[in-house]
Structure 1
Amino acid sequence: MNDILTVASARMPAEVGFDRARAHARLFRSGLEGDVTAQYVEWRLGPADDQVDFLVALDRPGPQGTRVFRDLEERSRSWTEQERHAWLPVARLGAAWSGPEAPLWPRVPTVWLELDDVRGPAAAPPCVSVCLVSGYARPLEPLGAPRPDEEIDTVHRVLDLLGVPASARLSGALGRCFAALPRGGRLIHLSVMLGRDPKAVKLYGKVPRAALSPYLKAIGWSGELAALERAQRALYPEAYTGDDVYFDLNLANYDAPGRASLGLAFSQQQVARGPCQDPRRRAILDRLVEAGLCHPAKAAAVAGWPGESREQVAGEAWPRRFLRFLDIKLVWDEDQGPSAKAYLGTSWPSGLF
């Protein structure tokens, strides 16, 4: 069958330069194609940064398991010792999520794997992102009722499998992040950056707009809230997002004065249900260009990405729908100020129509 990477790469804007990066994404190509349900190519939008990251989504395995984990040992025989070592934590997580009898299977609907800067060494360990909301099979579906005890237990299980020590500092930060959530708030994904030393841990969630600053203050975020609020008004306004704020919190630096960071995501949920439902994100990109955070050529390239096509799949009678969608993230860094990234997404929707 046509794999999602091959089809997406054929349509990737030339400006992204993904063709030269594909050779270094070998770990995500061998034996993976049948399991991938969505992927993103992450591209920095600033004029002086062309880093390309690559992410794939794997849905909850069926009775036969997920091939990327099931075949990992066999495929790794051709890898270097460094590559095998990099993937050991991922293999442990896969074993705990491999099918209906595995402990994480009922709790985790989706796992994302990411390679940072795929133009770099192919052996670099991936980032692993685990969805904490058991019924969150698709991003546009309702989150369902919170299960805080189960979700924080899932966080600790995943961290243990990925080899992240349960330090008092990290445990305290996680406890505060869950306990301080306001009404309508939710923590959705846990991410572990395995390639960093120490391994960085991030939480992705949502809160009502008015609750963001009080929430950050309650968990001990050390950034300057007034500066973040100004950036929000200028670059992440309610007119583009609605009331929900989707944030990405780095627990490695959240309490470090002068170094705290925070990501603010322009999500697909906001396209579907917010006040600005343009899938090409032109108004957002225009504002980022005006602020000097996005090169005009990059804005034009990513705005032309969203769309739909029909792709013939080997062995199937009818072409499949192939969707292309765009997310954007504004990153506020206390030390360096704001920056922006684009996420060029692709998926095979289920069904012919």
Structure 2
Amino acid sequence: MEDYLNVVVPYLPSELVSASALSNIRALSKVLPPFSLAGFESRLGTAQPVVDLLVRFPRLKLPLPQAFLAHSAWRSLHNLCQDWVQPTSELYDQLQHIWLEFDLDRPAASVPIPCLFLSLSDTVQDARSLVKLAHRLPEHTISASIAANLTRCAHALPTNARIEHLGAMLSRPNQAIRVVVSGIRLQQIPEYLTKIGWHDSTNRLTALISNLLEQVDSVAILDLDVGEQILPKIGIECFNRQPSPHPRQQQFLDYLVGQELCTPEKQAAIAQWTGLSQNIPQNDAAPTNLMWGDLFLRGKAHSIFWRSVSHIKLSYQPEQPLDAKAYLAFGHNWFDASVPLSA
């Protein structure tokens, strides 16, 4: 992963990542294999430039360092992947991807423990399959109460929404299951939360959603932590993908700055992130794992590293201040050489 970071890190402004945070990222990248899709999580409301790293695990038998396999969480993940790559296994059809998130607010340990997210296929929509998959999450025990809450989350879904990810926050003390609901409309969120037993003593969520409807797409992603009860902190992932005559992403960031959820410096830094950079095979910094693909496709495809702002997440908890994070995606693809590139 180190070679990939060398390509994109020059475009990561110092307002978003400090020298110490970058040192933590580089140390982690030295022990990780390359991933074609990854991203940074950046906290927007603080001047402290701390970022976390996310990577999408491919459906491959990736070689892991022996030191990793000495840890039970990594062994469980390794066994999960061993099943996932087998076409005859249930997991083969049930999981699209596996995502790992590494918290980097402190120097990476010699064996870094990630948060794990299972990306579910469309075939996993019934509550029974959901609970069964939850039992495969490493280092987690699914009690009868947790299973009942997961079932309630599945049964209460609007017809246009689905549970897209199940997460295990292995690097954190909280043993709740992260449930990620995609396709839900912003105005459907309060009713859905009420149905699953979530409570808001302040009733501020409705006002927040009314404000968001003026700033972002109406379809969002909702993050929940499901334990013996539905925990109070939720996340609303906001997107600006729909065509608009106005630059809505900039408008949304203006709103966040006005609400003191984003510093002006980080707002400006985010605007510098998006773009393309061409991988030059002859360049000493070019990732070695792409060499054969670049040679085979020479003249037929552009070898491109791309950077984009995926979304902005607002974390809401009754009686607590709002918090905003930006998710800065990057990855590598080969693009048809007959199509002109635009940075």
TM-score of the aligned structures, taking structure 1 as reference length: 0.80
What is the distance in 2 between the residues matched to 1:171 and 1:23? Answer: 40
**1:210 alignment partner, one of 163, 175, 187:** 187
State the alpha-carbon separation in 2 of the partners of residues 40 and 58 from structure 1. Answer: 12
Alpha carbons 1:155, 1:190 under 8 Å: kept: no
Amino acid of the structure 2 residue aligned with 1:312: I
Task: Measure, in 2, the Cα distance between the counterparts of 1:264 and 1:179.
Answer: 20
Structure 1 position 263, deviation (Å) = 0.8
Conserved in 1, the CA contact under 8 Å of 2:124 and 2:130? Answer: no
Q: Does structure 1 residue 190 correspond to structure 2 residue 158?
A: no
Aligned to 1:330: 314
Instruction: Tell me how far 1:130 sits from its aligned partner.
Output: 1.0
CA RMSD of aligned residues (A): 2.8
Amino acid at match of 2:168: V
The residue type equivalent to 2:159 in the other structure is R
Q: How far apart, in 1, do the equivalents of 2:118 and 2:129 lie? A: 13
Deviation at 1:223, TM superposition (A): 2.2
Taking only the aligned residue pairs, the percentage that are identical comes to 27
Distance 1:209 1:46, change over 3 A: closer
Partner residue in 1 for 2:332: 348
SS of the aligned residue for 2:140 comes to coil
Change (3 A) 1:158 1:99: farther
Q: Where do 1:29-68 residues align within 5 Å?
A: 29-30=30-31, 32-33=33-34, 36-59=35-58, 61=59, 65-67=60-62
The letter of the residue matching 2:51 is V
Map 1:1-80 → 2, pairs under 5 A:
3-17=3-17, 19-25=19-25, 26-30=27-31, 32-33=33-34, 36-59=35-58, 61=59, 65-67=60-62, 71-72=63-64, 75-77=65-67
In structure 1, the gaps of 5 or more residues are 135-145
Q: CA deviation at 1:129?
A: 0.8
Which residue among 257, 275, 281 is the counterpart of 1:307? 275
Q: Which moved more, 1:24-33 or 1:182-191?
A: 24-33
Question: Which residue is equivalent to 2:133?
Answer: 157
Q: How many residues align?
A: 318
Separation in 2, partners of 1:19, 1:99: 42
Structure 1 residue 276: Cα displacement: 7.5
Amino acid at match of 2:61: T
More divergent stretch after superposition (9-18 vs 188-197): 9-18
Change (3 A) 1:45 1:198: closer
Aligned equivalent of 1:284, options 234, 238, 252: 252
1:88 aligns with 2:75: yes
* C-alpha contact (below 8 Å) 2:44/2:262 kept by paired residues: yes
Deviations 1:234-282 (A, max 9, x none): 3x2x2333331321112248645xxx11111123xx41x3647848x21
SS in 2 for 1:285: helix
Preserved contact between residue 193 and residue 199 of structure 1 (Cα < 8 Å): yes
Alignment check: 8 A CA contact 1:40 1:343 kept: yes
Of residues 14-23 and 342-351 in structure 1, the stretch that sits farther from structure 2 once superposed is 14-23
CA offsets 1:125-165 (integer angstroms, 9 cap, x no match): 2000111125xxxxxxxxxxx6422x752553343341311
User: Aligned partners of 1:181, 1:80: CA distance in 2, in Å?
Assistant: 38
Is the Cα–Cα contact under 8 Å of residues 330 and 338 in structure 1 kept in the other structure?
Answer: yes
d(CA) in 1 for partners of 2:37, 2:228: 30
Q: Does 1:265 align with 2:237?
A: yes
Asked whether the equivalents of residues 189 and 204 of structure 1 are also in contact (C-alpha less than 8 Å), the reply is yes
Q: Provide the C-alpha distance between the structure 2 equivalents of 1:29 and 1:276, rounded to a whole number of angstroms.
A: 43
2:214 is aligned to 239
Alignment pair present for 1:229 and 2:206: yes
Letter in 2 for 1:340: A
1:339 is matched with: 323
Cα distance in structure 1, aligned partners of 2:166 and 2:327: 18
